[in-house]
Structure 1
């Protein structure tokens, strides 16, 4: 479901680090380009260029998740805290709203991930 081999490789690294329970690190919460975006072939100089309106769409998803989790944009949190908050505050069906319009939503892997996180 990646956009390019470089993007798939970067996303795989990010997911591996997030799933690694032995590894904790700081994450800056942003509604903007993030680490995954840096390897995306649709990344422009200052905005997502995948399609008309894609930058606004991505930013709106970021903002919805930040609000849903009660986070402060620009603030740095431990990965373990963000994972715990996600498990506490996000239900699989919340993704229908939080991620509305995301091309990955229809595959169900994100909902499966939330279910697994909730144990």
Structure 2
């Protein structure tokens, strides 16, 4: 089972093998590929730093505790009809995204995210809406 916060549900859709450090990328790739290969992986929705935040590099300000990150988490969970403490299979999260999310939601909810400008999260949502799952990361 993975513990994930709200905004990382979207980050996983857009993940393309880039990250903040080598250790962060290795961790995110492992989690991403597990969810991709086994969509029945249980996922526990938590508040605050999660298993992806655990590998955020200790090289300055720790953004995982910023108020705007908590606000983004809450907005994404609200959009998807999810609550802190729920445990769902990853495939159920994908189903909720298909039912409740459109690519342009990234522009408003993730407006201040530095990764938004790459456009990969919108692509990830588009691919999910087209019936594809998480894309393979090389």
TM-score by length of 2: 0.74
Kept after mapping to 2: 8 A contact 1:4/1:40: yes
Partner of 1:86: 97
Q: 1:49 aligns with which of 62, 65, 77?
A: 62
User: Does 2:12 match 1:2?
Assistant: no
What root-mean-square deviation, in Å, do the aligned CA atoms of Structure 1 and Structure 2 show? 2.2
Q: Which segments of 5 or more consecutive residues in structure 2 lack a partner in the other structure?
A: 1-17, 131-138
Any residues of structure 2 matched to 1:16-95 within 5 Å, and which? 16-20=33-37, 22-42=38-58, 49-50=62-63, 55-95=66-106
Kept after mapping to 2: 8 A contact 1:30/1:62: no
**Relative contact order (C-alpha < 8 Å, sep 6+): which is higher?**
2
TM-score by length of 1: 0.84
User: Once the 2 structures are TM-superposed, how far is the Cα of residue 42 of structure 1 from its aligned partner?
Assistant: 4.4
